[in-house]
Structure 1
């Protein structure tokens, strides 16, 4: 991400950050809060590059110096990232961070740490971080990323500058992706799927979501045209691709977008998640009333709720399949 891209997506955030960089008056801690974690992470990387860049302030980040390149590749020795260890960020992770920051920077006197999903810190981890925020070592920049600001300790929030990332509409996000060179099909699905499961390697994420999208298209076709084979399709295709709960949650979102698109085609709307499947969507629309489609979407939303309650995923999908076929 570059300043121009951040300006397009988040003009207020871009203005505040760039102004602070140019004036070299960055606070010691930021909280990035909003729904789109991937965008916040990209903005954090941009700020890290600007903070550590070797060029003049007005041109930071240059994108060419060794600091810029290593931050972008995720290999800078003076940038530390923390993510949840399982379901939470634990005290020992923050203590390890504190120990790391007692040493001098490998490349300069400046050091950065980024905490993703900061709202998942345990109480002891949050209190350890609070001490660290109150007494930062040297030229330190902290960036906490969260979608639930109210879950952070008020004392942590009060010692940080909060920047809110306003959510873009699906149409706006799609335009951004298309302006960055994505095809209409990929831009449409990326604009709607906020996060791809973290256990999918970065280099495989595009392939994974494209294949998952195709699995959902095929499942919808089986349910409509070959309902007796749909359960077999679940076993042979769906569960093979969407292997665990995080995967299934993304798959359920893709199903939800499918039936919403069917409804949208009945209303002659063009903001579709599956713009290349217009004929299939129209065909399905001929076989399903608006009430049936609303029921299908409700069934998907309920399936997501059962999934978060740790109900057996296979039972969830079989029940969802039955409800979609019944249209109730």
Structure 2
């Protein structure tokens, strides 16, 4: 990531950080918070390069070719430390080691910077140890905490950090990025609806399971008005393919996007259909379905997602959902 890209993707975060760098008013701790895939880790490394670059002078843009820039990019700069979960959590020994390291003077300058990735995964002991560190900041030391779930951090840690919000990329912007990365145009808005993470989107684009999931969801939607075919498709195709909770959730999201497409056609917002290859069918359905009914169907899918996460049996849940989408009994 460079500053031009950062400013296009996250203008608020980029402006806040750039002003801090230009005015040499660096906070002792930042909290980069936002959804997964919004560029938080990349931005933290860009900030590190901007702080340590040997050749950028009064400009905040790192040169990318000096020794410091290269070592930050490769992860081996002695004064830039990255802490990531060891297994499922960040443990107290990792924070203790960080505090010990930062009690020493900088190897090559007075400045030191540490980045804690997935900060919400700190154990209680690790979080309390970090809090003591934040309460006694060393001069020229900067912390960057990166998190998808700030609500899981101690309020006292949050209060000692300057918040830097990272917002989801717009579907239009992210779809363009995907197209530039080689994803077929007909699939870009579907992937952009699912994730903001470029690498995850590219993985899904090449994933046979995901391609088959899309086909099964479209097939179920197509046969919903035929009760026998709908239940057969559900039992044979859906239950056979969507086995884990996360897979069922993905299937429900893919189903929800079909109804959103129908609604967007009714509203005249059909430039970025998630299923552009289904336009003819969806336009026909848009003429035959009321907005009230569409709202009921979308609400039923969202309710199914909620019940899925409340550990309702997936097969029973899907059978009830199909009845509801057909106009049968509601969830009870």
Number of aligned positions between the proteins: 320
1:81 counterpart residue number: 83
1:97-176 alignment runs, 5 A limit: 97-99=98-100, 101=102, 111-136=112-137, 139-149=140-150, 151-167=152-168, 169-171=170-172, 173-174=174-175
Q: Which runs of 5+ in 2 are unaligned?
A: 224-228
C-alpha separation in 1, matches of 2:107 and 2:250: 40
Q: Is it true that 1:231 corresponds to 2:235 in the alignment?
A: yes
Deviation of 1:30 after TM superposition, in Å, equals 0.6
TM-score by length of 2: 0.75
Residue matched to 2:38 = 38
1:273 corresponds to 2:271: no
Are the aligned partners of 2:300 and 2:321 in contact in 1 as well (CA < 8 Å)?
A: yes
Corresponding position of 1:28: 28
Change (3 A) 1:203 1:45: farther
Residue 219 (str. 1) matches residue 220 (str. 2): no
The answer to whether the 8 Å contact 2:85/2:121 transfers is no
Which has the larger displacement, 277-286 or 23-32?
277-286
Cα shift readout 1:225-256 (whole Å, capped 9, x = no counterpart)? 342233211133333xxxx4344434432222
User: In structure 2, do the counterparts of structure 1 residues 301 and 25 end up closer, same or farther at CA, with 3 Å as the change threshold?
Assistant: same
Q: Structure 1 length as normaliser, TM-score?
A: 0.76
The Cα shift of 1:60 comes to: 3.0
Q: 1:5 to 1:258 in 2, by over 3 A?
A: same
Question: 1:195–1:180: structure 2 CA closer, same or farther, 3 Å change rule?
Answer: closer
CA RMSD of aligned residues (A): 3.9
Q: Distance in 1 between matches of 2:176 and 2:170?
A: 10
Distance 1:274 1:249 in 2: 18
Give the conservation status (yes or no) of the 8 Å contact 1:32–1:165.
Answer: yes
> Does the residue aligned with 1:38 lie in a helix, a strand or coil?
coil
Q: Is the 8 A contact 1:33 1:162 kept in 2?
A: yes
Looking at structure 1, the residues matched to 76 and 187 of structure 2 have their Cα atoms a distance apart, in angstroms, of: 29
Change over 3 Å in CA distance of 1:108–1:309 after alignment to 2: farther
Higher radius of gyration, 1 or 2 = 2
Please report how far the alpha carbon of residue 32 of structure 1 lies from its aligned counterpart in structure 2 after TM superposition.
1.6
Find the aligned partners of 1:149 and 1:9 in 2 and give their Cα distance.
21
The residue that corresponds to 2:226 in the other structure is none
Structure 1 gaps, min length 5: none
Runs (4 or more) in structure 1 with deviation over 6 Å come to: 103-109, 200-203
Contact 1:49 1:71 in 2 (8 A): yes
Query: Is this contact kept in 1: 2:183–2:202, CA < 8 A?
Result: no
Cα drift, residue 311 of structure 1: 3.4
